[in-house]
Amino acid sequence: MMGTIYKRAVIDEILPYLNDIGIIVLHGARQVGKTSILSYLQEQLRNQGKIAYFIDLEDSRFVRILDGGIEAFRQLLREEGISVELGGKAFVFIDEIQYLANPSSFLKLLADHHGDIKLIVSGSSSFAIQSKFQDSLAGRTVDFTIFPLSFQEFLFFRDVPFPEGQPFTDKKNEELLALFREFVLCGGYPRVALMAETAKKERYLQQIIDTYVKKDIRDLAEVKDVDKFNRLLEVLASQSGQLLNIAELANTARIARATVERYLFILENTYILRLVRPFSRNLRAELFKLPKIFFYDTGLMQMLWLKGLPREVIGSVLETAVHSELAKRYGPEAVHYWRTQDKKEIDFILQVRDDILPIEVKMGFDQFNPSAIRYFNRHYNLDRYRVVALNGVADHTIRVYPWELERKMLSNLYGSGCPEKR
């Protein structure tokens, strides 16, 4: 039995699509809460008197039935007492769709010929799903990426009030600073957020690494030398927030470059990390072409790197956390970095539609040097930027605490409106 199921922010984005034609697909890493989201939606539908049935493909019996084809699937529904009246609809939730031998054919047939069934499915690896999607599902799915908790969701899970749209007292800011430091140190996996003891957090994160991260990647990449692969994960975690030179990485890990590239591709497509590309619009020769590497979860990253959760936040971990917050809110493709050949550098360039915002991340506001941002703004005809830090006094306009990023940037870029994530 599941305990309390918390409402994630993405649920409000999913709800408008429940009654539309098409399959809802949730992508995301293991243990980030996809199953809980499906269960929450199922409960909401049942409370409305609608038919909602849940299938967990971690149970191999269900895999065998669904691999048997549409008629076997419909027979399962009949045996479970699920009958749809003429003009009605049954909502069927399928967790871990990638376990099917041919999920694309299954989904396509249901979408095209069985309009009385609305599918909401999840998958833990876009690589595994894409490799099995042999038939085009274009126009048949609506996709949502599920990340670890954002800081606002972390506060909600911890029952900490966070009234938006108003200034906070110094007392409230001090409380939020302490909580954000905990959030950065331990990461945003939902179960970790609800654990009080550091030792339990570490044990659970290590379990995710051993059971899911290493196992999933080993299986997908057909890893032959496990020790070298584990060493590669450690090196990557230690480099979060840094430029990634694949040739140097291959030499360090003693793995062929082509193999490293394949591992990186799979790590990105299992939502463990992301390679952030440089921003460029007009200045051809200004940029390094190397990507930067960022893990999505700081707790997981530090367990891989340090074999435990530290007591103090350091700069690269804070930068990794800010990247993760931006990616969760605006989508990973909206976040870039910027660096010139003469080493002028800005941590993040947020680009949403035609709007651009430079963002610099420092441990303390007094460490900020404006020269790179002034250069960038002069060349791109901008007059705005943000400095994010934990230490020192924020002015709540230019110099902001991490939880103020979303509020202040949205009001600056969009007035009272919100950008569409997809």
Token pair, residue 142, equals 């609506």
pLDDT at 422: 33
* Mean pLDDT, the chain, whole residue set: 89
pLDDT at residue 130 tops 70:
no
Q: What is the mean pLDDT of residues 314-340?
A: 95
Q: Which fold, 11-146? A: Rossmann fold (3.40.50)
Query: Which segment of 206-215, 281-290, 299-308 scores lowest on mean pLDDT?
Result: 281-290
pLDDT tens-digit series, residues 48-71: 999 999 999 999 999 999 999 999
- Domain spans, the chain: 11-146, 151-414
Reported confidence tier of residue 216, pLDDT bands at 50, 70, 90: confident
Q: What is the mean pLDDT of residues 196-211?
A: 95
Reported confidence tier of residue 127, pLDDT bands at 50, 70, 90: low
- Whether the full predicted model's pTM is greater than 0.85, yes or no, is yes
Collect all residues with Cβ–Cβ distance below 8 Å to 336 and sequence separation of at least 6: 276, 277, 278, 279, 348, 349, 350, 351
Reported confidence tier of residue 163, pLDDT bands at 50, 70, 90: confident
pLDDT at residue 408 tops 70:
no
pLDDT at 343: 86
